Amino acid sequence: MSIRTLDDLLAEGVSGRRVLVRADLNVPLDKQSGAITDDGRIRAVLPTLSALTGAGAQVVVCSHLGRPKGAPDPQFSLRPVADRLGELLGVTVRFATDTVGESARSTVDALADGEVALLENLRFNAGETSKDEAERGAFADQLAAFGAAYVDDAFGAVHRKHASVYDVAARLPRFAGRLVLREVEVLSTLAGEPERPYVVVLGGSKVSDKLAVIEALLPKVDRLLIGGGMCFTFLKAQGHEVGSSLLEEEMVETCRNLLERSEGKIMLPVDVVVADAFAPDSPHDVVRADGMPSKRVGLDIGPETVAGFAAALTSAPEGAGAPGGARTIFWNGPMGVFEMPAFANGTRGVAEAIAGSGAFTVVGGGDSAAAVRALGLDESSFSHISTGGGASLEYLEGKTLPGIAALEK
């Protein structure tokens, strides 16, 4: 793969030139106040933006936020993101109240060297996500008019064939930003020949969301630890009662087949935290995974499972060919409903074990990255925290990511 990088663009010189940057500023917002609850994705793009502004570029940033239906929706406005981006960059970020309209044109035209503008949510324009190539291309033409060069630093969106990710790259000299380069470098290591023992930890709600990556990883890993809501479909496949826990009945036979083919690599919870209801203050206790009451709901892995998973991360499986614990760990998906303190201990315990393992550790974006920050864990104790949950999984599945393919020479 041959991709021109931000350093290549900087070497050409960007002073006085307008550069369009696709960032992933899709941050979570508080539903009541509209305040940003996790600015991790904003901070992730700062190295690229700072390099460009420091070199005198006129930087035009574009991003999506949430899933508006192709028309303006105030609850998905990027205005609070513009304010936070300005605070982190230490400059005023000019904000356009539309994507490619009069406000966008006047805001971009007013930029001086070293200044930054942020366009309104790209998904307020139906052309961004359209499956009609002509409609998508027309929007891409309008976006491309805002730059003399294009930098993609939105790894969390590279698995989408959207106008700002795929089509704009065909219309301008194109370069990969710092974040995208780092993500590809790290995930290439995992997809290639990672140092072993290689242990993968998967959580989250649905087996169906992770089936393709499980199929792709199972032959490569030494251990696969499964928690979160998806574990209950596996437990059901073992013949256990799962009460009113999250269950994909149509995936039970698939899980049974995976367990049979795993050669003992798959580890499931041996105990779980069950509650009377899905609520933060619901009465709860720990039960054996093979003894769940029929009318209760599982919301976290139990302490014995945390200890077992931690041991699996710090001791080599038989025949793995290396002494000691895991040398490479990939984690995607929380172990329980970490947003509720009563059901956050499983995610915290496993995350702390990963962080303290001494291995090359990759947190696969999405809720896993959010959990690291929400639980107050030291981000620097992980080798890499991805900004793209879906993108990182699709990369490891071996899929071609449109945004990466578009950057190739």
Tens digits of residue pLDDT in 136-193:
999 999 999 999 999 999 999 999 999 999 999 999 999 999 999 999 999 999 999 9
Q: Which tokens belong to 44? A: 């992730």
Residue 56 catalytic? no
* Residue 379 identity (one-letter amino acid): E
Confidence of residue 321 (pLDDT cuts 50, 70, 90): very low
Q: Is the pLDDT of residue 409 over 80?
A: no
Return the closest-CA partner of residue 154 out of 144, 141, 168.
Answer: 168
Name the phi and psi angles at 321, rounded to 5.
85, 15
Q: How many CA atoms lie within 13 A of 371 on its CB side?
A: 32
**Residues of each annotated binding site for substrate:** 24-26, 41, 64-67, 123, 160
Instruction: Please give the annotated binding residues for (2R)-3-phosphoglycerate, written as ranges.
Output: 41, 123, 160
pTM score > 0.85 for this model?
yes
Cβ atoms of residues 94 and 53 within 8 Å: no
pLDDT of residue 323: 46
Q: What average pLDDT score do residues 340-360 get?
A: 96
Element spanning 292, H or E = none
Q: Which residues are annotated as a binding site for ATP?
A: 210, 298, 339, 365-368
In the predicted model, what is the mean pLDDT of residues 302-318?
A: 87
Determine which one of 364, 366, 388, 403 is catalytic.
Answer: 366
Q: Indicate if the pLDDT at residue 316 is higher than 90.
A: no
Grade residue 325 by pLDDT with cuts at 50, 70 and 90: confident
Once rounded to an integer, what is the mean pLDDT over residues 290-310?
96
Predicted confidence (pLDDT) at residue 324 exceeds the cutoff of 80: no
Per-residue b or e along 219-230, where b marks 16 or more CB atoms closer than 10 Å to that residue's CB = ebbbbbbbbbbb
CA proximity to 97, closest of 67, 71, 121: 121
Tell me, yes or no, if 236 is annotated catalytic: no
Integer Cα distance of 86 and 18 in angstroms: 18
Residue pair 383/361 in contact by the 8 Å Cβ criterion: yes
Instruction: Using DSSP bridges, classify how beta strands 174-176 and 149-153 pair: parallel, antiparallel or unpaired.
Output: parallel
Domain boundaries, the chain: 6-181, 192-397
Q: CA 402, 174, 364, 277 torsion: positive or negative? A: negative
Q: What is the DSSP letter of 125?
A: S
- For residues 324, 325, 327, 331, the Cα torsion angle rounded to the nearest 10 degrees is 180
Binding residues: 24-26, 41, 64-67, 123, 160, 210, 298, 339, 365-368
Of 76, 110, 84, nearest to 96 (Cα)?
A: 110
Query: Cβ distance 395 to 191 under 8 Å?
Result: yes
Q: Which of 17, 18, 22, 41 is catalytic?
A: 41
CB 210 within 8 A of CB 230: yes
φ/ψ of 234, rounded to 5, equals: -65, -40
- 56, 161, 390, 399: which is the annotated catalytic residue? 390
Q: What b-and-e string marks burial along 170-179, b requiring 16 or more CB atoms within 10 Å of the CB?
A: ebbebbbbbb
Residue 265 burial (CB count, 10 A): 19
Contact between residue 26 and residue 64 where contact means Cβ atoms under 8 Å apart:
yes
Encode pLDDT of 365-396 as tens digits: 788 988 999 899 999 999 999 988 889 999 99
Whole-number Å distance between alpha carbons of 287 and 293: 9
- C-alpha dist (Å) from residue 239 to 96, 117, 232: 56, 57, 11
Weakest mean pLDDT among 243-247, 301-305, 317-321 = 317-321
How many residues are listed for the chain in this entry?
Answer: 409
Q: Does 390 qualify as catalytic in the annotation?
A: yes
- Domain 6-181 of CATH type 3.40.50.300: no
**What is the CATH superfamily name and number for domain 192-397?**
Phosphoglycerate kinase, N-terminal domain (3.40.50.1260)
| Ramachandran area for residue 34 (φ above 0: left; ψ -120 to 50: alpha; else beta) | left
Mean pLDDT of the chain: 94
**Does the pLDDT at position 27 exceed 60?**
yes
- Out of 43, 105, 161, 206, the active site residue is 206
